[in-house]
Chains A and B, each alone.
Chain A
Amino acid sequence: MKAIMISGRTLGQGATCEAKTSPEFFKATSFCSLSEEDYSSLDLKEGGNVRVATPFGEVVVSARTDDGLPSGMIFIPMGPWANVLVGPNTGGCGTPQFKGVEADVASTDMLVKDVRELFGDLVEEKRRETS
């Protein structure tokens, strides 16, 4: 399914963002909200995850519905999962593309990475560079 992705603050994200290695932060930021219509169209199994891909990266997150979203728009709370998908182009202002990124959403059996796994490749690179 094609969609426009936006990211932003939520109460849960804000309440846990100074404790980023906590399970509460994981719960509050590693999901994607979809409209009821889009959620149904993905044919998700109970508790099933989605794989969201943009030209900049792809990430697996859990899925939930948000009746405030129009069809064709997805929301992921600001944070490391959303930022895998965000475009680095700053448009001459210094600010990346946090909102309005074209994304492809599909159901998946893959698991959601925890925050350490999400940075695993970069941590490995850092270790190699400094060993």
Chain B
Amino acid sequence: MIVEDVLCPFCGCLCDDIKVEVEDNQIVSVKRACRLGGSKIRGHGRIEAPLVRKDGELVKATYEEAYDRAAQILLDAKRPLLYGWCSTVCETHKKGILLAEEVRGVIDSTATVCHGPSIIGIEEKGLAGSTLGQIKNRADLIVLWGANPAEAHPRHSQRYSTNSKGKYTEEGRKGRKVIVVDVRATRTSKNADKFLQIKPGTDYEIISALRMILKGKADLMPETVAGVSKGDLEEVAEMMKAARFGSLLFGLGLTHSRGRYKNIDNALSLVADLNTHTKFVVMAMRGHYNVTGFGQVCAWETGFPMAVDLSRGIPYFNPGETAACDILGRREADAMMVVAADPASNFPKEVVRGMADIPVIQIDPFENPTTFLSDVVIPSAVAGVEVEGTAYRMDGLSLRMKKVVDSPYPSDEVIIENILESVRRLRDDN
């Protein structure tokens, strides 16, 4: 059986044209997906059964034992951290936020080690946004800043941006100009008409220089800015002004570099300035397929998109204080629940040390370094392959993920519901 138009549960592109061949409930081939998505959909070794740590070692347990142990850990904790969420669907996010509220925990997503500063910048400045469809159909200039979609979002260029063909962009790449700004040459920069190679940590200065040129203040500028010649900057500014529909797509190179959310704030201001000359839009190249979705659900449930502290009984948001790395780094969290993420691999090791001496609950289909440090491990079905649900593409479009095969494992939504029930029952028993 061929399942058509499957959505890919890997990156924020959320490609919706994947063909998956299924025989006897097994995936035998995946067509049209990139290397990243194909690998995830085809699947690989799973955590076979729930595990609970006894006398220092993880041993097999039943789901019921694992739910009760997880619930007891959350109930015993004064400052539980519920983290992850971005490789699963919005239905799970909703239950996770409810659980966080009931145990008065802090809930945070992988956004805080990804485009978190971008979100803060957008909150400061506002965003001249668009859908990927608008960019595909209209953009005649694509600026990629600190982004390498050739490796991180491999089908982005063909489907939505530099090389895509749309209603008013029939010529595809030939009819567009492409500017790449990065600290190193990449596969993405090879596709550029103009590659602006800048020094690490100088994005803010370069953006400010472009804004000065656009405001007609070029005569006040020095001959080089952060090592880039004024001539190069004037050329880039001219290309931006000359566009009929420009699109600035930025990656972690901008948001993780010195300046962080201030870089984004300045980039959004650059786009606002450009809109006095022409039409210009801006978008963050979001990583995990549903990191945007967690931001949406968390914002409509709590008023904030990530790093929400619910210990006061009302939502409190202050990244730098309430984000996962801050709370673990200060050794403040006294228990952690990880859902559809791998902080042990993706946080700085100095921060991960904080996971070694507190109880950790993991809900995930796959073994990873977070498993090594967990005290309760609950295997789940793969959302978007074995479970359907809602996910948000990087441009904020909500799409329905398909179920392609049946799973012997419960969904993470069901697992969280069960933990929530155990929390309520054990609390009442006391």
Interface residues of A (CB under 8 A from B): 4, 6, 8-11, 14-22, 56-57, 66-70, 73, 75, 78-80, 83-84, 86-88, 90-100, 115-116, 118-119, 122-123, 125-131
| Contact A14/B319 with A21-B367, A94-B112, A126-B356 known, Cβ cut-off 8 Å | no
- Kindly list 13 other residue pairs between chains A and B, CB separation below 8 angstroms, not including A6-B200, A11-B154: A20-B367, A21-B368, A56-B350, A80-B344, A83-B349, A84-B348, A93-B260, A93-B323, A94-B307, A94-B324, A122-B352, A126-B53, A130-B55
A130 to chain B, nearest CB (A): 5
- Cβ-defined partner of B257 (8 Å) among A96, A99, A118, A119: A99
Find the B residue at minimum CB distance from A86: B348
Given A9-B152, A122-B352, A123-B372, residue A98 in contact with residue B256 (CB < 8 A): yes
Q: How far is the CA of A21 from the CA of B201 in the complex (A)?
A: 33
Contacts of A119 in B (CB 8 A): 344, 369, 372-373
Residue of chain A at shortest CB distance from B252: A8
Question: Closest B-chain residue to A99, C-beta based?
Answer: B256
B113/A95 in contact, CB under 8 A = yes
B323, A90: Cβ atoms under 8 Å?
Answer: yes
| Given known A-B contacts A14-B36, A95-B260, A83 and B347 have beta carbons under 8 A apart | yes
Which of B95-103, B129-137, B182-190 touches A?
A: B182-190
Instruction: Determine if A95 and B256 form an interchain contact, defined as CB atoms under 8 angstroms apart.
Output: yes
**B94 proximal to A (CB < 8 A):** no
Collect the chain B residues with CB atoms within 8 Å of residue A98's CB: 113, 252, 256
Query: Given A8-B253, A20-B342, A100-B200 in contact, is the A130-B375 Cβ separation under 8 Å?
Result: yes
Of A10, A21, A68, A70, the most chain B CB neighbours within 10 A belong to A68
Does B44 have its Cβ within 8 Å of any Cβ on chain A? Answer: yes
Please determine whether A57 and B349 come into contact, CB atoms closer than 8 angstroms.
yes
Q: Nearest Cβ distance between residue A32 and chain B, in whole angstroms?
A: 13
Q: Which residues does chain A contribute within 8 Å of B356, judged by CB atoms? A: 122-123, 125-126, 129
> Interface size for chain B: under 10, 10 to 19, 20 to 34, or 35 or more residues?
35 or more
Q: Tell me whether B116 and A93 are in contact (CB under 8 A).
A: yes
Task: Tell me whether B368 and A90 are in contact (CB under 8 A).
Answer: no
Q: Which residues of B contact A90 (CB under 8 A)?
A: 319-320, 323, 325-326, 329
Q: Please measure, in the bound complex, the distance between the C-alpha atom of A58 and the C-alpha atom of B366, giving whole angstroms.
A: 28
**In the complex the two chains form, what is the Cα distance from A96 to B320 in whole Å?**
10
Q: Are B345 and A20 in contact (CB under 8 A)?
A: yes
B364, closest chain A residue (CB)? A18
**B287 at interface by CB-CB < 8 Å:** yes
Contacts of B306 on A, CB cut-off 8 Å?
A: 94
Task: State A69–B148 Cα separation when bound (angstroms).
Answer: 14
Q: Which residues of B contact A69 (CB under 8 A)?
A: 184-185
B44–A19 touching, CB < 8 Å = yes
Nearest-neighbour CB distance to chain A for B33, whole angstroms, equals 11
How far does the alpha carbon of A11 sit from the alpha carbon of B35 in the complex, in Å? Answer: 7
The answer, yes or no, to whether B238 is at the interface (CB within 8 Å) is: no
Are B183 and A73 within 8 A (Cβ)?
Answer: yes
Q: Are A4 and B200 closer than 8 Å at their CB atoms?
A: yes
Given A93-B261, A119-B373, A129-B356, A10:B151 Cβ within 8 A:
yes
Q: Does B10 make an interface contact (CB < 8 A)? A: yes
Query: Measured between alpha carbons, how far is A96 from B343 in the docked complex, in Å?
Result: 12
Judge whether B253 and A22 touch: CB under 8 Å: no
Given the complex, which residues of A lie within 8 Å of B185, measured CB to CB? 67-69
Q: Which residue on A lies nearest to B152, using beta carbons?
A: A9
Q: How far is the CA of A66 from the CA of B260 in the complex (A)?
A: 26
Q: Check if B319 sits within 8 Å of A93, measured CB to CB.
A: yes
Q: What chain A residues lie within 8 Å of B183 (beta carbons)?
A: 6, 70, 73
Contact digits for B56-75, partner A, Cβ 8 Å, 1 yes 0 no: 11000000000000000000
Within 8 Å by CB of B120, from A79, A80, A93, A128, lies A93
